[in-house]
Amino acid sequence: MNTIAALADSIIQGYRIQRGDDLSIFLEAPLEELQKGAGILQRHFCGNHVDFCTIINGRSGRCGEDCKYCAQAACHHTGCDEYGFLPKEEILANAKANQDAGANRFAIVTSGRALTGADFEKALDAYRTMKQTLHIDLCASHGLLTPEQLHRLHETGVTSYHHNIETSRRFFPHICTTHTYDDRIRTIKAAQKEGLCVCSGGIIGMGETWEDRLDMAISLAELGIQSIPINALMPIPGTPLEHRTQLDSRDILRTIAFFRFINPEANIRLAAGRKLLPENGATALLSGASASITGNMLTTSGSTIVEDMAMLKRLGLSNQDLGENSTCGPR
């Protein structure tokens, strides 16, 4: 495939990019040409639908892991909020507000290697009550859970599990030493075996190479991931990456575009760093990205749902659900 247009056409016809393929075209092609091809693929596989998810920081800070990008690691000194698992009433009120504003799904995200013990039971109770009283789709992000825990989550009505691989296998030890890349892969495969839709992506701008970014995209394709959040590092004071230079918007847009080529049927999801993009991500939503986190992020600011809904209308896109019990992947 010697042109972006030819590659896009072949992907529509069923071809899929494999590990070992020559991927240099994604780094050498003019960005505008790459974006045009990604937009064609997005419209073919995802139509005009954009999935909006929202999150609540259900337990914050005091994490024993050492992920270099994260404000919540106890070994870093970031001044982030520290609190135990939130009261169920606060979580439910937040979920209802997001539902009423038009979001497609809602996730509780918790700090720590894994949510266990009494806090895990509190999470199950919150999900169970949300499933009984709301219609918003439920996602969970609670670290390195066991198959039994994932099964119990699924039983409460959770349909999707979020667990990033963060970067390439090669670069992962440079950003985290308290658990391994394979720990994360095991959790992802256990969630998939349970029947959960897995949302998994990573962060760019941590010092990795373009080849690492391409490798991450291929690894996610090999795992069959249905929702891929792409975060652009927002350096947080007090973390080891606090002095990293923020990525240029064109680098972020190029990454989003080639992720669409390598994972054509997935939801490519805008996440942290959206504000670095032109028009707060509007151009990305027409050239590869078919989903976004909306509202507030964990420890960085996000975009309001009202603003995002207005942007969708302006772009001729929609996040209207097409059915009950949908998952994190494309409709």
Residues in the chain, overall count: 331
Contact 293, 302 (CB under 8 A): yes
Level-2 CATH architecture, domain 4-315: Alpha-Beta Barrel (3.20)
Contact 95, 105 (CB under 8 A): no
Q: Using CA atoms, how far apart are residues 227 and 293, in angstroms rounded to an integer?
A: 11
pLDDT digits (tens, 9 = 90+) for 140-151: 999 999 999 999
Helices (H), 102-248: 117-133, 147-156, 172-175, 181-194, 210-223
Mean pLDDT of the chain: 90
pLDDT digits (tens, 9 = 90+) for 4-46: 999 999 999 999 999 999 999 999 999 999 999 999 999 999 9
Q: Find all residues with CB under 8 Å of 75, minimum gap 6, and list them.
A: 66
Give the range among 17-26, 66-75, 165-174 with minimum mean pLDDT. Answer: 66-75
**pLDDT, greater one: 191 or 62:** 191
pLDDT digits (tens, 9 = 90+) for 283-319: 999 999 999 999 754 444 446 888 899 999 999 999 9
The per-residue DSSP string of 210-233 comes to: HHHHHHHHHHHHHHT-SEEEEEEP
Q: For residue 72, what pLDDT is reported?
A: 63
Contact 33, 4 (CB under 8 A): yes
pLDDT digits (tens, 9 = 90+) for 232-264: 998 888 888 888 899 999 999 999 999 999 999
